[in-house]
Amino acid sequence: MTDDRAVPERARSVRPRRPVLVVGLLVLVAALGAFGWSVYDLILRPPVDPGAAGRSVAALQERWRNGHDTTPDPLSTQAVALLTIPALGTTPWPVVVGADPASLTQGVGWYPGTAAPGELGTFAVAGHAGVAGPFAGLSRLAPGDDILIETGTRRFTYRVDADPGVATVGRSDTWVIQPVPGRPEEKPTVATLTLTTAQGLIGSDSRTVAFATLVDASEKR
């Protein structure tokens, strides 16, 4: 004969495992979801909306054609210039005033208080890197690579320097945007360009910085 008391005892020994299994599955699903979102957020989602950037470029070019905003205005809330890095295969990116997080979602950010394009001193800008940001691949720039800046009336060509060219600095190393980088006591005698971006796909205390010098300036026809 079968002992009927053994059946409920076995059932009772199995039941406690089911909640543990369900909880484990929920934790696994949540972890996979978080991982998937992280991959999307860091890799698949551009740090700057290319559609919005393209519309900003088109709007700026239209203003220029109509004779407005021909001189970059440090107080402007709209794009004031265009930046292109041929060596990285980029199309023009809008340059907006401000290097804060909100500004960098619109394009390339012009550090307040630094020189205007073509002026003596340092025209300093920041941008996201990541996979598809304006400064993605900035560390691959080499001495001799050109960086093009366009305003309403002029085109400027800056050339990446041989020394240091591209460097890694800390987040707090603000000397890179000084009028003469690293030499605060000197008055600038040439026009230079500094590009800065965070390293890696996630937050980092290091920055990749590219230094360039103005080699050509021409009037737009």
30 and 78, same structural domain?
Answer: no
pLDDT at 3 > cutoff 60: no
Is residue 1, in this structure, part of any structural domain at all? no
Is residue 111, in this structure, part of any structural domain at all? yes
Which of 16-25, 160-169, 192-201 tops mean pLDDT? 160-169
The mean pLDDT of the chain is: 83
Is residue 123, in this structure, part of any structural domain at all? yes
> Cβ distance 74 to 117 under 8 Å?
no
Banded model confidence at residue 38, pLDDT cuts 50, 70, 90: very low
pLDDT at 214 > cutoff 50: yes
67 and 35, same structural domain?
Answer: no
> Cβ distance 75 to 157 under 8 Å?
no
pLDDT at 157 > cutoff 70: yes
Is residue 167, in this structure, part of any structural domain at all? yes
Average pLDDT value for residue range 15-25: 55
Distance of CA 3 to the CA centre of its chain: 72
Domain that holds residue 18: 6-43
170 and 115, same structural domain?
Answer: yes
Which of 15-19, 118-122, 128-132 tops mean pLDDT? 118-122
| Domains contained in the chain, number | 2
64 and 108, same structural domain?
Answer: yes
176 and 102, same structural domain?
Answer: yes
pLDDT at 167 > cutoff 70: yes
Instruction: Classify strands 166-170 and 93-97 as parallel, antiparallel or unpaired.
Output: unpaired
38 and 53, same structural domain?
Answer: no
pLDDT at 4 > cutoff 60: no
Determine the Cα–Cα distance for residues 124 and 72; give it in Å rounded to an integer: 14
pLDDT at 75 > cutoff 60: yes
Query: Full-prediction pTM beyond 0.85?
Result: no
Q: What is the pLDDT of residue 40?
A: 36
Cα–Cα separations (whole angstroms), residue 87 to 45, 140, 202? 23, 9, 24
53 and 27, same structural domain?
Answer: no
86 and 172, same structural domain?
Answer: yes
